[in-house]
Amino acid sequence: MKSKKIILVVFLLLTVAFGFAQEKTRKQLRKEQQIEKARQIAILIDSKEFVFVANKAFPLGFRDIDLTTNPNFIAFKPDFIRSEMPFFGRGYSGIGYGGDTGLKFEGKPSEFTIEKGKNTYEIKATVRGKQDVFNILLSVFFEGNARLTISSNNRSSISYNGEISKIEKKEDK
């Protein structure tokens, strides 16, 4: 009878030990995935060519807006930036009512800098559009999430949350 209890206790201890061993490997696996994602983000930032796609907009003074069904992007290259972002907010001057009033611009940035922080990359750019100058700040976190803030002379500032990814090359048919 005593030997059965000892065998049962040993069996339970081994079961618990194996459970903790698996938990440790899950943590290690998650850590390895985070390291790999951070490495991929670093390669993408070092290439200086990537696209930001927003899933949420945060207009100044308004509630947040879901953008998952609203196509949008801003493509970054050191010699060219193209934006097709929606705008929700207040226009001050030079902005007509009605029509398409999104943050749609393209051009060569007069400033394009990338700084690596403790947990983020900070990309700053300034682009002159047809009627406005756009100051862009993109904060990219090591896990791939990003926050974009665009300010201009004629509109209120707006921020977006989303992700960056590689620019897809279009195939000619």
Query: What digits encode the pLDDT tens for the residues 156-169?
Result: 899 999 999 888 87
pLDDT of residue 124: 93
Which residues have CB under 8 Å from 118's CB, separation 6+?
none
**Region of residue 121 (left: phi > 0; alpha: psi -120 to 50; beta: else):** beta
Region 126-138: mean pLDDT is: 88
pLDDT of residue 173: 47
Which position has the token pair 């998650």?
A: 30
CA–CA distance, 42 with 113 (Å, rounded to integer): 15
pLDDT of residue 96: 56
CA–CA distance, 107 with 101 (Å, rounded to integer): 18
pLDDT of residue 132: 83
Share of the chain above pLDDT 70, in %: 87
103 vs 94, higher pLDDT? 103
119 vs 94, higher pLDDT? 119
Could you tell me the residue ranges of all domains in the chain?
Answer: 1-47, 48-165
Region 31-40: mean pLDDT is: 87
Region 20-41: mean pLDDT is: 80
Looking at domain 48-165, its CATH architecture is: Beta Barrel (2.40)
What rounded mean pLDDT belongs to the chain?
A: 83
Phi first, then psi: what are they for 139, rounded to 5°? -105, 115
pLDDT of residue 146: 93
User: Vertex 153, ends 72 and 144: CA angle to 5°?
Assistant: 35
Region 129-148: mean pLDDT is: 88
